[in-house]
């Protein structure tokens, strides 16, 4: 009350008589009106400030003058990462304007590409997965938390909450060359100047793209997925000489933008190498460990391009470019230039889908590798890393003779791909001998098309082939989900667990 009396008494700017009531009311109303634009324009900021789970982005937004101006004057869409998303971001730089677009879009209105408000307006890519989840680049929009508001200028503004910080493609901190919103070919050309992590080099593949005159493929407007092998993948052999135009085409998914979080797992995608004379698909798949892979499957090949599957780990994912997304991969797809032995030996120095299988072979003297090295044709049924977590294995792991018998049960002295197995299985369940004395494997095919499941039974264990037809120069590797010959439970354990 005391403050109120002093303010009225000094309303004329001095110590004289008080202003009439109607004048005081007018001044008060004018003061209130002056405050309205500031309050209205900060409505999204107010909403953010009220949510402790969004405090980190709110702090960054407050400090960005361009973002504040946009909120005050323009329509916009704001993609806001949660604090949990920032924890996974690990204190890396955050580009606020890459999280904004100057058009208001609810979830139903989101288009395939949206220009961000960052310099150069690099696009944000909107995709949906099979479950109907909506993603902006690799971040999922949390559907129940989106809000729509109107600022003082009457402009619609929409805020979506996302589970990952959006990361644009930017130059390295010490780069003096200005690079804004490059396409995939400019990315290839300038990759040494870009912040793509862990010192990945792309010089070998870049030179092959230029040598084969495939620049236009990487400059194509629209939205595509580019799989680019790093230089490490060309060290083992003269592999670069095998990269021809068709191989380059087999690394591009045209008109199909796939970020890993929204990737359709185990669903083949057609590549630019899908025509009358050659047909190549690419599939994304993920280990339980979280490691993401792509695999090419040459369904129809020729004398230069063998049929079969080639696996490659994604070593740097979700790099957005002006015409789609880039994933850096460990080795080139489509190229079959290693023996089965060399393929297994590749897991000696790297974690991969068959690391546990290789380690088990070596822990038992490495005899299996020596044996299959002498075979001109061979098929390996290789248990996945998860398959070796079976507790029953620990009881016999130190029994070298028994383990060698188990390992031999996974080796067939014939090149058997899935088509061969189907042919053998036409009239009866296919029975195939192994290197393990008097042990046969029995293949069975259930379902058709996408629902087809191929199982193999051996030594009392029924396993499913989870990755078929990994091609090598002298045969095939099929990855299975169980170790043959070692039941998960003993007979006693099974009796005890049955009701």
Structural domains of the chain, with CATH = 44-162 (2.30.180.10), 170-329 (2.30.180.10), 340-497 (2.30.180.10)
State residue 462's pLDDT score.
95
Q: How confident is the model at residue 491 (pLDDT cuts 50, 70, 90)?
A: low
pLDDT surpassing 50 at residue 459: yes
498 versus 264: the higher-pLDDT residue is 264
Q: What is the pLDDT of residues 345-385, one digit of tens each?
A: 888 766 778 999 999 999 988 888 888 888 899 999 999 99
pLDDT surpassing 80 at residue 493: no
The predicted model scores a pTM of 0.85
Q: What is the pLDDT of residues 91-139, one digit of tens each?
A: 688 999 999 999 999 999 999 999 999 999 999 999 998 889 999 999 9
pLDDT surpassing 90 at residue 213: yes
State how far the alpha carbon of 247 is from the alpha carbons of 221, 242, 283, 368, in Å.
21, 8, 16, 32
Question: In whole angstroms, what is the distance from residue 217 CA to residue 398 CA?
Answer: 54
Q: How confident is the model at residue 40 (pLDDT cuts 50, 70, 90)?
A: very low
pLDDT surpassing 70 at residue 11: no
DSSP, collapsed to helix, strand or coil, labels residue 415 as coil
SS3 of 166-228: the string is CCCCCECCCCCCCCCCCCHHHHHHHHHHECCCCCCCCHHHHHHHHHCCCHHHHHCCCCEEEEE
Phi first, then psi: what are they for 416, rounded to 5°?
-110, 110
DSSP, collapsed to helix, strand or coil, labels residue 132 as coil
pLDDT surpassing 60 at residue 422: yes
- State the chain's mean pLDDT as an integer: 87
Lowest pLDDT segment from 50-59, 154-163, 418-427? 418-427
What dihedral angle (degrees, nearest 10) is formed by the CA atoms of 33, 34, 35, 36?
50
For 157, residues 6+ apart whose C-beta sits below 8 A from its C-beta are 43, 44, 71, 75, 76, 77, 78, 104, 148, 149, 150, 151
Q: How confident is the model at residue 34 (pLDDT cuts 50, 70, 90)?
A: very low
Q: How confident is the model at residue 437 (pLDDT cuts 50, 70, 90)?
A: confident
Q: What is the pLDDT of residues 301-345, one digit of tens each?
A: 999 999 999 999 999 999 999 999 999 999 999 999 999 999 998
């Amino acid at each position: 009350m005391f403050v109120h009396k002093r303010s009225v008494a000094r309303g004329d700017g001095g110590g004289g008589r008080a202003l009439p009531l109607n004048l005081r009311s007018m001044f008060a109303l004018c003061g209130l009106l002056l405050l309205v634009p500031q309050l209205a324009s900060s409505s999204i900021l107010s909403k953010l400030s009220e949510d402790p789970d969004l405090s980190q982005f709110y702090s960054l937004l407050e400090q960005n003058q361009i973002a504040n101006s946009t909120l005050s004057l323009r329509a916009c869409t704001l993609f806001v990462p949660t604090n949990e998303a920032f924890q996974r971001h690990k204190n890396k730089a955050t580009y606020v304007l890459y999280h904004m677009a100057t058009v208001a879009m609810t979830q139903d209105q989101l288009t395939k590409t949206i220009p961000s408000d960052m310099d150069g307006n690099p696009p944000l890519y909107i995709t949906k997965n099979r479950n109907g989840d909506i993603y902006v680049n690799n971040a999922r929009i949390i559907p129940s938390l989106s809000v729509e508001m109107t600022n003082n200028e009457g402009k619609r503004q929409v805020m979506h909450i996302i589970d990952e910080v959006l990361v644009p493609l930017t130059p390295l901190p010490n780069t003096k060359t200005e690079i804004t919103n490059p396409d995939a070919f400019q990315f290839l050309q300038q990759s040494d100047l870009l912040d793509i992590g862990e010192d990945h080099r792309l010089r070998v593949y870049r030179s092959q793209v230029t040598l084969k005159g495939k620049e236009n493929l990487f400059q194509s407007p629209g939205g595509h997925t580019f799989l680019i092998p790093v230089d490490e993948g060309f060290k083992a052999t003269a592999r670069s000489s095998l990269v021809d135009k068709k191989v380059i085409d087999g690394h591009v998914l045209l008109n199909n933008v796939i970020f890993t979080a929204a990737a359709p797992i185990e669903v083949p995608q057609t590549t630019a190498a899908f025509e009358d004379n050659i047909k190549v698909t690419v599939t994304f798949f993920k280990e339980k460990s979280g490691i993401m892979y792509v695999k090419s499957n040459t369904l129809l090949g020729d004398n230069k391009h063998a049929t079969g599957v080639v696996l490659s780990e994604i070593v740097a994912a979700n790099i957005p470019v002006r015409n789609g997304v880039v994933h850096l991969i460990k080795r080139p797809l489509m190229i079959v230039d290693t023996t089965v032995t060399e393929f297994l030996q590749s897991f000696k120095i790297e974690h991969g889908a068959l690391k546990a299988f290789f380690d088990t072979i070596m822990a038992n003297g490495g005899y299996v590798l020596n044996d299959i090295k002498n075979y001109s044709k061979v098929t390996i049924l290789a248990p996945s890393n998860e398959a070796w977590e079976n507790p029953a294995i620990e009881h016999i792991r130190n029994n070298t003779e028994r383990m060698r018998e188990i390992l031999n049960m996974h080796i067939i002295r014939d090149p058997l791909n899935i088509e061969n197995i189907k042919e053998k299985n036409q009239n009866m369940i296919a029975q195939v001998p192994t290197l393990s004395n008097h042990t046969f494997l029995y293949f069975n095919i259930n379902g058709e098309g996408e629902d087809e499941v191929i199982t193999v039974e051996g030594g009392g264990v029924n396993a499913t082939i989870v990755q078929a037809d990994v091609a090598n120069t002298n045969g095939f590797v099929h990855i299975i989900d169980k170790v043959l010959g070692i039941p998960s439970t003993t007979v006693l354990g099974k009796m005890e667990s049955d009701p």
